[in-house]
Structure 1
Amino acid sequence: MEDLSIKNVNLEKSENLQRHRTEGFCSSKSLVVRRGAPFRISLQLQGRPFNPHIDFLSVKILLGRLYVSMPVSFSKKVSPTKWTAYMESKDLDFQNPSIFISTPASASVGCYRFQLRVFTQGGKRKAALGRFILLCNPWCREDAVHIPFEDQREEYVQNDSGLLFMGTAMNLVSRPWSFDQYEPGVLESCLSLLQVSPQHQKSRREDYLKRFDPVYISRVVSAMINSEDDRGVLKGNWSGDFKQGVNPTMWTGSGDILSQWTKSGYKPVKYGQCWVFAAVMCTVMRVLGIPCRVVTNFNSAHDTNGNLVLEEYYNEKGEKLKISKDSLWNFHVWVECWMTRKDLVSGMDGWQVLDPTPQNRSGGVFCCGPSPVKAIKERRMDLYYDIPFVYAEVNADIHTIIMSEGRVLSLNKDTERVGSLICTKVIGFPRLQNITGDYKYIKSPTSTISSRSSTSDDSTLRRASASKGVLVSLTLDKAPVAGEPICFTVKVMNKQNHTKLMKVNINAQAKEYNHSPSDTFWETNGIIQLEPMEVKVVTKQIAPAQYEDVIGDDLINLAVVLEDMATHKWVLASEEFNIASPQLTIQIADEDSVVANKEQTATVSFTNTFSHMVGGVLTVAGAGLIPGKINFRILPLRAGGKVEQRISFIPSVTGTKMLQASLSLMNVNSTIRGFKMVRVNRA
């Protein structure tokens, strides 16, 4: 009788991808499964059928040079801590038997090989080979990344698009971003990131053994997103000169960045800033199966000397000076990943801060975290990792100092501005979720639209060298919008019973979100007289023609400084704000009837709200909707003019997808954006 042999091994990709919720990775040549759950493979035997009485099956699983061997049993009993393989005796086809391989919930993440071996009577051995990629499993209760609710898993693991919040707390900018985790090649790039890491190059065996732990994985990824210590993905650049690469504001998704990095032989992609670093890390973590979300901290402190105090310096004209080594970023973007922390005391599970932007060395390497959000709130500086650094980012005090010729004229302390708003995208909807209370105890509810005011009285803001009796506040009348005047009000109050003569200087400077301001582009000054107990209100506006050519995507630092001409005491109020850009509008023809594999039409429209003609390049993209990007030239458009561009696309997958468009203006340092969530149904 002819002996049996293995003719073919079927990885049953369609079934396994659906069972393991990895259907999005269908373009990968490898089978992609999640740990802590069995997957099925089928054998096609040649010759005689399999005989369980005289034949024996075993499976050898290999990760690099590490391996485990196990017999194939008829017991369906699996263990969350051990590799097992079994055949179901019910309805077993001995000519084409199915084998289930069950992985531990703590198995290492990576690309595995397996050898399926059949031992027949007489000691003859037949073998078949295969591969599979194993990811973390947030659906498995025994997995360290298990997150309890399905809507959380959909948002923080499976969602391939999102919003990044930028600008200022009073005038938020919601920037669309495509995480692209299911785009061809992205999975492989994320796995390459682990292989290229210094940890893997130093000791492949040790790296593979540690890859069971999301704490370890997240630290490796945090370091590898930036290129400071390794062959990481992104090169940071805050100089303003991006001629050797791409301006960070031009990126719209992670796929292009990861693809370029891989195709270049792992040379750093130029360039990234905080939101790009964070968004790419979010992609990598979601690919690896670790729940992840992008978080923005408004007024984020970078405290270089660790004293939880940042100094801001102004001169008597209201110009902000470039003196302090500390820096206050209008916003800073990082990620949070969900995991249990068995390496720490109890109560530290859940969201962990990780920051791939190269600001801080941790263990000698530019990475940050994972820092438990709960530990930051409770000020547990004794725990791992980098909690003092993150704590300062959301809790430092601001000392605002007026100086003249090296002499301190006035000092004001602000304990509220740093970390004034910490937010992420809400689950299932394109809007903001305020998570400030997760990081710090909120003293009192405050509006995100606020003004900076200061008083020369001894008050909760406690002033050094204070002159009594004068209160000044600076308030924007409304959130500024491009093409409209910036209207603001200065209110000055004399709280004493004698007349005061006050010198007033108001100054506006353009600034980048993470730098001190540049030169003054608008200023005004004068003298006001305040009668006893009088309140005077001064209204001012900056015309569009005065700011449009200066700021673009930048922000404005606006400050008012008052000098009591009798006592020569000083008081200051300031505000930093961005100007909302006009939006691109996207409309889908018959949007309730969008189905996969059928051509659809969208219309992108733009109205020029600027005071002069603008034109540029319109780029449209959408993972699962459009392969790559489509570019259109938009001819110069007069002020108030409107243009529409029709786009045809064919959705390739079902689900909710993001169609996004960006218009890069040629004669203004600004990019106009818009997005539309598209529900793609089955045909």
Structure 2
Amino acid sequence: MALQTQMLYLYPQQNSKLHKTDLYDIVNDDVPTPVLRRGQKFTVAVRFARTFDRNQDVVRIIFNYGPNPHPIKGTSGVVHVDPARRHAIDDKQSLWFGNVLDSRGDSLTLEIFAPVNIPVGLWAVQVETSLTNSRSDISLFNYDGDLYFVCNPWNCHDMVYMPQTRLLDEYVLNETGKIWVGPMGTTKGREWIFGQFDTCVLPAIQLMLDNSGLSHASRGDPIKLTRMISKMVNSNDDDGILVGRWDGQYEDGTAPAAWTGSVPILQDFLDTQNPVSYGQCWVFSGVVTTICRALGIPSRVVSNLVSAHDANSTLTVDKYFDENNEEMPFDPNNLEGEDSVWNYHVWNDVYMARPDLPPGYGGWQAIDATPQETSHGFFQCGPASVEAIKKGQVGFNYDVGFMVASVNADLMRWKEDKSNVLGYQRIYCNKYHIGRMILTKQPFMYDYNGDKDRQDITHEYKSKEGSRAERLSLWNAVRGTEAAKRFFDMGDDTANDVEFDLQELDQIKIGESFSVVVKMTNNSDKTHRIKCQLSAATVYYNGVKAHVVSRDDGEFELKPKKTEELKLAVAASDYLDKLVEYSNMKIFAIATVADTKQTWVAEDDFQVIKPSIDIKVPRNIVAKKPVAIGLRFVNPLKTTLTNCKFHVSGAALLRNQIIAHPNVKPGAVVSVETKVVPKYVGELKLVATFHSKELMDISGTAKVEAFADEE
């Protein structure tokens, strides 16, 4: 009679230390779940109902993935147990192997090697036993627990291997980070709890995988896997994780600014099995980071300050004006969409080899989960080699052209001109406006009170702005893009007699007044009549205008060789009740020289600065014991705040906690108190946000340093 298997034990906690998976909460549960890295051996034990007889008993351990597992597809692996044979296991093998470490009576202890390219996610395990001379008597034992395999960036044969393995402490193991948000002049690192080791994360990822339509056999390929992640984190054309929204109307969900991290989003997705409301680019990016790091794929958040959304593949961002200098509400060359400039846009870099591309294009790859444009029929983007983006290699997979435009498009302005064959004359071209700075978090640093931990990676995405190498790479991209050729062949702008300069604004605190100032210099020997328009408006961070705050039009004469200033004063009372989320504003100027028809246009975005949350943390904190912390700030508005809520969370401190607060009068202190319980000794990070109907995007962070109990 065939052996009867009584138990299969996968040593979840012992294996996790060797596999660098010991931080996963499910590994440390009362009933632990194994999380293993592919391309690495691990230990298992099997106990039978009688003594194992090597001469008559056949034992196979079978690993299956998905509904139709098959060894040829890489979704099934069979380990033949043979005490008389020992395999020389190395980490580049493509087949499953196992060696018997110990055979004692009714038990076997084995070391098993999982190939380095197997699919990631949830696997099932069986023990099959039979007799040497009879395959008709087969006994199957099904392991009744879960088993997850993830990528192994420490293994040089895994496609996600990162040679600087020390950096994996940041790009795979770090649970807390920053996402740089805000316009160029006031960008700041917003704290985010990735929480990739939380109990809900791997099950939520498995749900995402099952909803994705990606074949089970393809789920071991990081190229296909990360492209799918960019598709599934947004919900635009599938059962994805997050619903995107940018209009400020979030009453039926959670405002993007209220999130403190990815865990509550993934928990909600797992619980409801429906997309979660709401996200924006930086929220999508935070969730992507969590998913990638949980799967063992090195990932970093990337923020592009002044980011282009090229809707018609011209490698330009185009706006059109009529004969009266009024901006047209549509793009006459792209009636199905419209180019835009985002104050900032956030995506992800993931690290991997690219065997599908020529040598030199591996390393960091850009993926973008924000639904901007479709790629091959779906809202997905990347992985696009960062090196290919820098060199303008738009023929390489995937979506390199779109990413080139995001960081290096030319900004073009067109004015209605019936004498021109196109019906429009190019009046302005700025080669330096887009991709002003590209930021990520500096590894191994965390600045609680500022942005010393930001890392400028602009040079990785493009050569120095205005340099010959930067222009050559853009022209290389233009040569490979038919629509772009037509726009870049329009010729240079006409000569300019008058020089214009829109003065950029410094930081403006909420409640302060400011002015829109244009400096004009007449470099010619004759007087020019100039028609000018100045305006200020509140805008959403994706460039969509919300409300006009102030505007002034006028005509005047500018004498030869003279310089004058035009000024539009904006009082706090003009804009306070028109602010939208993140308090972004745009100042805009357009001017036409009447006799030469020279037209100039310029704009600048800035952010009205709001207070941050002050978090009070006691000095002497003991691990595993509750401690009270306080949160406070002062209402800066001259209006009452309603529907007030704090969100507080911290990896190894507390999961997302929502604290309701009564209405807050103008100028009053907003304060609450809550408790946290540090899970272990060491430095932990706490993140809080505040959201109300009238005021949002208030955040703060604090260090919580826990010590061992001396008792």
The TM-score range, normalised by the shorter chain, is 0.7 to 0.9
The secondary structure found in structure 1 opposite 2:306 is strand
2:196 corresponds to 1:181: yes
Distance 2:341 2:325 in 1: 18
CA distance 1:295–1:337, change in 2 (3 Å): same
Match of 1:60 in 2: 62
CA distance 1:244–1:607, change in 2 (3 Å): closer
Distance 1:31 1:387 in 2: 38
Q: 622, 630, 636: which one pairs with 2:664?
A: 636
Q: 662, 681, 692: which one pairs with 1:665?
A: 692
| 1:281-313 Cα deviation digits (max 9, x unpaired) | 222111111111121222222222222222124
The secondary structure found in structure 2 opposite 1:267 is coil
Offset of residue 566 of structure 1:
6.4
Match of 1:204 in 2: none
Q: 297, 303, 306: which one pairs with 2:313?
A: 306
Match of 2:20 in 1: 21
Match of 2:36 in 1: 33
CA distance 1:216–1:286, change in 2 (3 Å): same
Match of 1:625 in 2: 653
Match of 2:11 in 1: 12
Distance 1:13 1:306 in 2: 50
The secondary structure found in structure 2 opposite 1:297 is strand
CA distance 1:567–1:54, change in 2 (3 Å): closer
CA distance 1:228–1:607, change in 2 (3 Å): closer
**Cα root mean square deviation, aligned:** 3.2
The secondary structure found in structure 1 opposite 2:392 is coil
Amino acid at match of 2:268: Q
Task: Check conservation: 1:300, 1:418, Cα contact below 8 A.
Answer: yes
Offset of residue 148 of structure 1:
2.3
CA distance 1:323–1:158, change in 2 (3 Å): same
Distance 2:388 2:682 in 1: 37
Offset of residue 525 of structure 1:
5.0
Distance 1:347 1:19 in 2: 32
Distance 2:687 2:325 in 1: 40
2:587 corresponds to 1:558: yes
Task: Check conservation: 2:263, 2:656, Cα contact below 8 A.
Answer: no
The secondary structure found in structure 2 opposite 1:196 is helix
- TM-score between the two structures when normalised by the length of structure 1: 0.86
Amino acid at match of 1:300: S
Deviates more, 1:2-11 or 1:471-480: 2-11
Match of 1:69 in 2: 78
- TM-score between the two structures when normalised by the length of structure 2: 0.83
Q: 609, 622, 633: which one pairs with 1:606?
A: 633
Deviates more, 1:473-482 or 1:138-147: 473-482
Match of 2:576 in 1: 548
Q: 410, 418, 428: which one pairs with 2:434?
A: 418
Match of 2:473 in 1: none
2:313 corresponds to 1:296: no
Amino acid at match of 1:198: G
CA distance 1:464–1:33, change in 2 (3 Å): same
Offset of residue 408 of structure 1:
6.3
Distance 2:432 2:178 in 1: 26
| 1:218-266 Cα deviation digits (max 9, x unpaired) | 12222222223322222333444434433333333222222222222x3
CA distance 1:480–1:76, change in 2 (3 Å): farther
Offset of residue 95 of structure 1:
5.8
The secondary structure found in structure 1 opposite 2:509 is coil
Task: Check conservation: 1:334, 1:356, Cα contact below 8 A.
Answer: yes
Amino acid at match of 2:187: L
Task: Describe how 1:313-352 pairs up with structure 2 within 5 A.
Answer: 313=320, 320-324=327-331, 325-352=338-365
Task: Check conservation: 1:315, 1:321, Cα contact below 8 A.
Answer: yes
Deviates more, 1:69-78 or 1:361-370: 69-78
Distance 2:310 2:688 in 1: 37
Task: Describe how 1:587-598 pairs up with structure 2 within 5 A.
Answer: 587-590=616-619, 593-598=620-625
Amino acid at match of 1:222: S
User: Is there any run of 5+ residues in structure 1 with no aligned partner, and where?
Assistant: 200-206, 446-460
CA distance 1:3–1:220, change in 2 (3 Å): closer
Task: Check conservation: 1:411, 1:463, Cα contact below 8 A.
Answer: no
| 1:544-570 Cα deviation digits (max 9, x unpaired) | 222121123242221233444666654
Amino acid at match of 2:305: F
Offset of residue 465 of structure 1:
5.2
Task: Check conservation: 1:316, 1:561, Cα contact below 8 A.
Answer: no
Task: Describe how 1:43-54 pairs up with structure 2 within 5 A.
Answer: 43-44=46-47, 48=51, 50=52
Offset of residue 180 of structure 1:
2.5
2:110 corresponds to 1:99: yes
State the identity %: 28
2:170 corresponds to 1:141: no
| 1:59-102 Cα deviation digits (max 9, x unpaired) | 2222232333222355362132221111336xx75565422111
Task: Check conservation: 1:410, 1:569, Cα contact below 8 A.
Answer: no
Q: 365, 378, 393: which one pairs with 1:365?
A: 378
Offset of residue 618 of structure 1:
2.3
CA distance 1:399–1:52, change in 2 (3 Å): same
CA distance 1:32–1:681, change in 2 (3 Å): farther
Task: Check conservation: 2:260, 2:656, Cα contact below 8 A.
Answer: no
| 1:372-403 Cα deviation digits (max 9, x unpaired) | 11111111122111111222222221112456
Amino acid at match of 2:550: W
2:439 corresponds to 1:428: no
Distance 1:311 1:60 in 2: 58
Distance 1:511 1:321 in 2: 17
Amino acid at match of 1:388: G
Deviates more, 1:295-304 or 1:111-120: 111-120
Amino acid at match of 2:261: G
CA distance 1:365–1:487, change in 2 (3 Å): same
Offset of residue 278 of structure 1:
2.2
Distance 2:547 2:511 in 1: 22
CA distance 1:516–1:628, change in 2 (3 Å): closer
Task: Check conservation: 1:318, 1:559, Cα contact below 8 A.
Answer: no
Deviates more, 1:280-289 or 1:526-535: 526-535
Match of 1:572 in 2: 601
Amino acid at match of 1:382: G
The secondary structure found in structure 2 opposite 1:88 is strand
Offset of residue 595 of structure 1:
4.4
Distance 1:98 1:169 in 2: 59
Q: 466, 473, 478: which one pairs with 2:506?
A: 478
The secondary structure found in structure 2 opposite 1:427 is coil
Distance 1:425 1:402 in 2: 41
Deviates more, 1:418-427 or 1:471-480: 471-480
Distance 2:425 2:394 in 1: 36
The secondary structure found in structure 1 opposite 2:229 is helix
Offset of residue 167 of structure 1:
1.7
Aligned length: 651
| 1:122-179 Cα deviation digits (max 9, x unpaired) | 8787664434211001111111111123442122112222222222122203222222
